[in-house]
Each structure stands twice: as C-alpha cells, then as structure tokens.
A and B are shown apart, each in its own frame.
Chain A
Amino acid sequence: MATAKTYDPELLRAERRRRNNLRRLKGLGLHLLLIVLLGIMLYPVIWMIFSALRPEAEIFGDMGFIPTNWTLENFTRGWFLYGNLTFTQFYINSFIICALAIIGNLLACSMAAYAFARLEFRGKWWLFAVMLGTMMLPIHVQLIPQYIFFLNIGWVNTILPLVVPKFLAADAFFIFLMVQFMRSLPIELEQAAVVDGASYWQRYWRIILPLSMPALATTAVFTFINTYNDFFSQLIYLTDTDRMTVPVALRLFLDPSGGASSFGGLFAMVLISIGPVLGFFLASQRLLTKGIATQGFK
C-alpha cells in the first residue's frame, strides 16, 4: 500500500509485474495439479495400450513401461480366440443393434417430444409427469416379466427385445432432452407453415425435426454409447454364441477355460472395444458437452 501512495511509476510497474508473476505461477501450479491427476486417472488405460502392443510374456514382467519389442500378435490372437467365431461377427451383431436402437430412439422419442413441446392436448401435464417418473424407475421392476414374455413369444436369442422397446420410446431421457430443445424453437416458423397449409406431420417432419438437429445428434451419439456399452440386457437375451455382442463376448475372457490365459489378447480386444465409443465422442465432442451440460447424461 505504501508503495502505491508514492505514485512512483517504477515501483508501480514492479508491483504489477510481481502480481502478474504470482498469478502466472498459480496458474502453472494448477495446470501441474490437473495434469498429475489426469496422469493418474489415465495411467491404467495407457498401460493397457502398451500391454496390448508388446509380446505376451513381457506384460507383467519388469520390461519397462514402454515396450521394446512392438508387436500386433495380441490383436490377431484375441480376434480369433474363439476359433472360427471371430470378433468380426460380434462387432456386426453389436452394430446392428446400435443402428436399429438409434433409428428407433430418434423416431419415437422425437414424435413424443413434438407433442409435449409444441401441441396442446388433454392430460398433457399428467402424461408429462408420468414420462419424468419413468426416468427414475429401476429397470429391474419390469425386467423379469418382460423376460418371461419375450421368452414365451420366442424372442430370446433374437435382437428384438433389445430393439423393439426403442421404437416405443422407452428411453424417456431422450424425450426430455428433445422437449427442452423443441420448446426453445421460435413459434413463427410453424405459424408460417400453417398459413401455407402444412399438416401436423409436415410441421413435425419438415420444420421441427431439421431444426432439432443438435438434440437429435446428441440422442444418436448417446444411444450409440449406451447401447454399445450395455451389458445387462444383452447378457440376458443373447446367449447363443453366434448372436453375442462385443461386451458379452468380452465377458468370455472371464471364463478360466476361455481366454484368461491370454492377457495380451484380452487387452488388445478391450482396446479395440473402446475405440468406437471414443471415436463417436471425438467426432461430436462440441455438441455433446453442450448436451451433457444441459441434461446430465452419464
């Protein structure tokens, strides 16, 4: 304080420099802290990447963190671990389910969301409350009767139990996301369409849907990630080996008679399995962080 009162430009400059340096130092310290935390968090993943790329025998040895003998043999071993049933089939199975789930969610959830967001109807408030309520329901209270039902109509070991519910807008989370988004669209656009004689369907399909692209894209990406990662329902419904999806197949590594002997193969397959999720995320990152921020997906 005393220095400031003298108004000596030289001292003032020195004071400002000191403060700037302090701030820079604090910023640097914070960066360092965050990088260390990230390093600890991501260390296991990096370890796995290197383990997948080194010979089997060196994975748990004292051969250093970074491999000296790079190899891709783990990938081929893991891919063909179950004989003539390869991961090619498991990925095809997973992607088919994901693609259908995305289509189902986009269609059914956006239709419901359009009604909730843009139309007036009797019982709207009540139905909206029901919709919000279903988001909190644990799947377990529907699971067993659903399973018994699907078993009786012969749907077990098909992809139908995993896909059909999506076409019935079972993921209320996405309805909610789209309602929030559609509500924010200006009403004039629809008014103009009404003047031009557009039907309800045209208003939904030609005006609201194209404008809701950000919400639709967020839904698509999260449906992909959730469906691709989903283990519980795929474990229950897909038991035939040629129907298995990636997570269900990976689980076979747990079986002592299966692949537990091949840690290299295991790590290589795990590495490939998280690839699509990370790829989708990177491709749509900007969009997603916005979507997550407003809706809170996990």
Chain B
Amino acid sequence: MSTTDAANNPVLRASEAGRPRLMPQDRQGSALKKADNRAAYMFLLPWIAGIVLITALPMLASLYLSFTDYRVIGLPSFVGLDNYIRLFTSDRRFVTSIWVTLQYVGYSVPLVLVFSLSVAVALNRGLRGLAIYRSLFYVPSLIGASVGIGLLWKEVFGERGVINDILGWFGIAGRGWINNPTFALPSVIALNVWTFGASMVIFLAALRQIPESYYEAASIDGANAWQRFRRITLPLITPVIFFNTVLLLINSFQSFTQAFVVSGGRGGPVDSTLLYSLYLYQQAFQQLQMGYASAMAWVLLIAIGLATALMFWSSRYWVFYGDR
C-alpha cells in the first residue's frame, strides 16, 4: 500500500490491510465501527457518569424540590405551585433582585462590548508593543472575579478610597460610593466592566482575520476611517459580537462573588446590590429554604434560556456570515 493510499483511506481500514480479505468491505467496516463504538463509550464513561450524577439527576431533584417546602431537616412536603406564586406575588425582595440583576446585566454587557471592541480596534492598527498591551488589558479579567479584588474595590470606592482622591484633584468632594444605595450597584458594574479584557482578546483575534486588502480597496474608493469601520470591520465581526454577547449574558446573569464581597453578603445597602444569585444564596444557605431557592433556580434557568434563545433568534437579522 503506497503512502498516498494510506492517507486517503479511512483510519481503520489500514489496520485490516494485513489480513486476508475474506469478508466484503462493508462487513469489515461495520465490525470496526462496532469496536469504535464500544471504545468511544469507554472513553465517554466518566463524562456520561457526570452528566447523569451531577447534572441530570440533581436537575430533576431540583425541579421536584421547587414544588415542595423543604428546610434540610425533615422531608420535603409537596406544596404545588406555592413557591412560584409566592415569588411573583408576595416577595418584594425577589422582585428587587430581578430589577437589580436586569440593571446589572443591562449596563455591564453593552459597556463591556463597547470598551472591548474599541480597545481591540485601537490595538489592531499595527501598534508597537501589541502583546504587552494585550496582556496588561487582560490582567483585570484574571483577577476580577476573586474575593481579593472585591475587597480592594470596597476600599477603592469607599469613603477614603482612591476614587475620592482622584476626584479631590479636580476639587470634587467625594462620598462613600459603596455604602450609598444609589452608587453601590454602579460600583459593582464598574468592577464587571473593568474585566473587559477577556472579550477584547477575542475581538482582537477576529479583527486580525480580516484581510488587509479589504481596507486598501475601500481606501482607494475614498472611504474614511469611520466608513471603513462601519462598512467593513463591523459586518465582518458580527459573529464574534454575537458570541461575546451570549457569553457575557450567561456570565453576568450568574454574577455572585463581587456583590457578595462588596456588601458583606447582605446585598445592601437597602438591597441595592442584591443580585439574583446572592438572593438565591441567602434563601438556600442562610434561611435554609431549599424548596423556595430551587424554584428561584428554575426561574433563573428559564430566564437565561429565554435570553439566549432571543439572541439566537435575533442573530438572523444582524449577524453576517460571509458565505450566505
């Protein structure tokens, strides 16, 4: 068998090359397919066990618990739709947490997109030191989710923190941002936006895929910088904008650590940083209302599912795939 033949044949045929060809080809193929099949499931065994034991069964259990009253001690007692009804009709903190989360997502996702895309476009102009800039802008993404940075943020936006020092240079009197109901949430949003580097790196990679000749052709036709961005760059990276948006949506709906740290676990002042996950945590692990918290978890799942579905549906109208 020549090398070119080996390259053109499917992987497994090669192993049969030495054997006498008694069986028709397709029979051989199916025997091998069976072996492939068995081997594949052996390799998948840990993952399948995981899917069943740590994903599917807990999800079903959680769905069941959401229809019960369960406080860890004793047995869950079935209450029907009570938890869900209570959530939407008589729990004001729940409504607050939804509102806080929507604000958090609604401000931070677009801001992260704008910052990451602008900096990526700026970096993509053949600047010297690109690698250094990229790394430095990425650093906040590495540490931004940690408890340590949350604690730092609390001080930076505190009454005697750096923000007020900077404002002081311009003669503006500062305040305690993080313990003020109006400014606490924006401070947490600022921390999320601070970590735009991760999205920026993805944008940068996409921008570098755009052939230089497109821009040259546009320049010859007299397009200015804005037109080149608007008519060439933007349409070509819509798939990446879409990808980043979905990722950011899923992540920010579940934000927890920073609101927890900044508010000392309470979501204050006056529930202004009570993100959904934080309220869920309080219900489950402080109030031990496991049934109620499970209902909250399913509402979150459905909300994220809807948001993602909406993104996919809308993508038909604004995401541009070159080959269509």
- Using a CB–CB cutoff of 8 Å, the interface residues on chain A facing chain B are 27, 30-31, 33-34, 37-38, 41-45, 47-48, 60, 107-109, 111-112, 114-115, 119-122, 124, 127, 130-131, 134, 136-149, 151, 165, 167-170, 175, 187-188, 190-191, 194-195, 197, 200, 204, 225, 228-229, 231-232, 236, 247-248, 250-251, 253-254, 263, 266-267, 269-271, 273-274, 277-278, 281, 285, 289, 292-294, 296-298
Known: A41-B194, A112-B43, A168-B50. A137 touches B156 (CB 8 A): no
Please determine whether B140 and A289 come into contact, CB atoms closer than 8 angstroms: no
- Which residues of B have CB within 8 Å of A247? 146-148
> Given A200-B43, A229-B147, A292-B201, list of 11 further CB < 8 A pairs?
A44-B156, A111-B47, A112-B44, A136-B304, A137-B55, A140-B296, A167-B46, A187-B11, A229-B143, A254-B261, A293-B205
A27 to B130, CA, bound (A): 12
A145 to B153, CA, bound (A): 33
- Which residues of B have CB within 8 Å of A191? 6-7, 9, 11, 14
Please determine whether A119 and B300 come into contact, CB atoms closer than 8 angstroms: no
Please determine whether B7 and A194 come into contact, CB atoms closer than 8 angstroms: no
Please determine whether B46 and A111 come into contact, CB atoms closer than 8 angstroms: yes
Please determine whether B65 and A145 come into contact, CB atoms closer than 8 angstroms: yes
Total inter-chain residue pairs, C-beta < 8 Å: 262
CB distance from B44 to the nearest CB of A (A): 5
Q: List 15 A-B contacts (CB under 8 A).
A: A41-B137, A42-B136, A47-B156, A108-B50, A111-B44, A115-B40, A115-B41, A140-B300, A143-B58, A169-B47, A194-B11, A195-B17, A232-B281, A273-B146, A293-B204
Please determine whether B143 and A263 come into contact, CB atoms closer than 8 angstroms: no
Contact mask for chain B residues 3-24; partner A; CB cutoff 8 A; 1 contact, 0 none: 0001101011011010000000
Please determine whether B139 and A42 come into contact, CB atoms closer than 8 angstroms: yes
CB distance from B226 to the nearest CB of A (A): 15
CB distance from A128 to the nearest CB of B (A): 11
Q: Which of B58, B298, B301 has the most CB of A within 10 A?
A: B58
Closest to B296 in A: A140
Is B253 close to A, CB under 8 A?
yes
- Which residues of A have CB within 8 Å of B162? 43-44, 47
Please determine whether A145 and B62 come into contact, CB atoms closer than 8 angstroms: yes
B149 in complex: contacting residue of A31, A149, A169, A270, CB < 8 Å: A270
- Which residues of B have CB within 8 Å of A115? 39-41, 43-44
- Which residues of A have CB within 8 Å of B151? 250, 253-254, 266, 270
Please determine whether B62 and A144 come into contact, CB atoms closer than 8 angstroms: yes
A294 to B253, CA, bound (A): 23
